[in-house]
Structure 1
């Protein structure tokens, strides 16, 4: 059996981890509603900020990032609801630049910000998360998300992973961005290969063919640490674009879910998903028809998801 011990029927919860929005009644109600969709794993995800893509200091212990107490609350709440946990600390850029563009010279230059300086700060952030994950016995720790420019810093990543393993005994994964699965050169250092599967609705087969070669070569299990589609017209063709203009459409989201799950069901090496995403404070179910974001709550995709995840779990038990 895979180290994942069965299908990952997962959902990301809590993004972006704003201080004061976890460990409150609304957050507890949100996680309860998520669990009721046959979710068996959750990626508890929160962000720490650096000022610009060229900054080397990451303020993981200050606002707006959730506190350690809030993180522990979320982990324990998920466990009480019967879910396994992947802790997912993420770095964001305060000026709005996507984290994929964080970057420095390929080699260290005196007087210039460097990868060495950045990884020193990132290491402190990740080791802090690893201590929490170990203390709370999280099943998995995600050590990075969509860090496209950083992906090439192989030696820094390998050193970070060695340091994390001194602290954390669970599974380690790295969430590369879409189309980057075959560009990461250090998959052998992690336990689970994962990526953000925001592929156009008509492009799943060709991308799964490409990813399959990576997974086979790695000898590691694979999950989509992110995947999903906003519930709006046009989003199935550009599921990664949360700013895309379009009218709310639960049917568009449902069509995408069907295509994604059908394509992946034909690939037994795809061991599951952590879908994007479930907020710490849910909109009212009566307002689901007008909500155009990724969360499937109260939408046709939510009903489909509950049935699909329940069927995946039943098949594993059979």
Structure 2
């Protein structure tokens, strides 16, 4: 009996030693700013899906694509879009062991694509650069103050970067004088391969709205096949730059053809398709979350008022109160 007991203990110890630890991933949500402060009840659902990170997004506003002035941190904005609101969100989430990516974003009036921001003159470019620097350095200061683990220096600003690459290289230098954590940039899915400053950052950030299927209700298999076009290229890109890939945004709407143009947010797509959202979401997790060159990502998007968010009649991005939420919870529990 004694020999049997000792043998059993040794076998148990060997089995524990051979068990691989769960890989660490950034299991994030893009936490949408609201009119009001948040409290514990708004954070419990984040914990419930096993998320361990949140992207906090204070907004700056531009009147039109050719306008050089960014308006930010004003009393006309929603609470969560301002510096004081972002800080309150971060401090509240930290109490629940949620790590932070601070991700200031620009909104162009009428929702025009930020990648099209382009000035008509050198004087306007200079004014835009001055305005953007004030905006982004304000939040670099906040990121340092709250010890945010990651700071995102911009989101989907491809034309601005294409035309003014030297400005961006110098901006990163200025940010690093203030903020001592990790840096990324949220490049659009068709922009990341020409972004010129990945060597100066810590993560290659991609907003992962790659088209993976043109089916009305894309199957899991079809979506996984769709990723075969992009995944090897992303892997090689990561290896060549010696930087991990971070999906600064990822997600799908619960609509027909959700994998065809995943970036579309217009209201003309209204036919709810929960299965399409589930299959596209599961395929992305299965393709990426176990890759060692992949750091993780931030689900687009998550609202603070969980009870009222999403649901079976909602056609937008949030997975809240939809079948896709269960898939996310399951995958986030593994890593």
User: What TM-score do the two structures reach when normalised by structure 1?
Assistant: 0.88
User: Is residue 62–residue 70 contact of structure 2 (8 Å, CA) maintained in 1?
Assistant: yes
User: Is residue 205–residue 263 contact of structure 1 (8 Å, CA) maintained in 2?
Assistant: no
Distance 1:50 1:128 in 2: 17
Q: 1:95 to 1:304 in 2, by over 3 A?
A: closer
Unpaired runs of 5+ residues, structure 2, are 1-22, 213-222
Return the match for 1:57 from 69, 80, 89. Answer: 69
User: Is residue 31–residue 302 contact of structure 2 (8 Å, CA) maintained in 1?
Assistant: yes
Q: Answer yes or no: is 1:220 the counterpart of 2:238.
A: no
Distance 1:191 1:160 in 2: 15
Return the match for 2:297 from 267, 273, 278. Answer: 273
User: Is residue 53–residue 99 contact of structure 2 (8 Å, CA) maintained in 1?
Assistant: yes
Q: Which residue of 2 aligns with 1:44?
A: 56
Partner SS, residue 149 of structure 1: helix
Shift of 1:24: 4.4
User: Is residue 28–residue 52 contact of structure 2 (8 Å, CA) maintained in 1?
Assistant: yes
Q: Which residue of 2 aligns with 1:143?
A: 153
Matches within 5 A, 1:76-87: 76-87=91-102
Q: 1:102 to 1:85 in 2, by over 3 A?
A: same
1:217-254 Cα distance to aligned partner (Å, 9 max, x none): 21112110001101122212221112252421221111
Query: Which shows bigger deviation, 209-218 or 270-279?
Result: 209-218
CA RMSD of aligned residues (A): 1.9
Distance 2:87 2:290 in 1: 37
Partner SS, residue 152 of structure 2: strand
Distance 1:149 1:102 in 2: 6
Q: Which residue of 2 aligns with 1:91?
A: 106
Distance 2:168 2:317 in 1: 30
Query: Which shows bigger deviation, 203-212 or 269-278?
Result: 203-212
User: Is residue 231–residue 293 contact of structure 1 (8 Å, CA) maintained in 2?
Assistant: yes
Shift of 1:268: 2.6
Q: 1:293 to 1:30 in 2, by over 3 A?
A: farther
Q: Answer yes or no: is 1:13 the counterpart of 2:31.
A: yes
Q: Answer yes or no: is 1:128 the counterpart of 2:138.
A: yes
Distance 1:10 1:101 in 2: 27
Q: Which residue of 1 aligns with 2:118?
A: 103
Distance 2:46 2:189 in 1: 25
Q: Which residue of 2 aligns with 1:67?
A: 82
Larger fraction in helix = 2
Unpaired runs of 5+ residues, structure 1, are 313-318
Q: Answer yes or no: is 1:301 the counterpart of 2:324.
A: yes
Q: Which residue of 1 aligns with 2:15?
A: none
Q: Answer yes or no: is 1:210 the counterpart of 2:228.
A: no
User: Is residue 234–residue 246 contact of structure 1 (8 Å, CA) maintained in 2?
Assistant: no
Shift of 1:266: 5.7
Partner SS, residue 253 of structure 2: coil
Distance 2:109 2:43 in 1: 27
Structure number with greater Rg is 2
Q: 1:7 to 1:265 in 2, by over 3 A?
A: closer
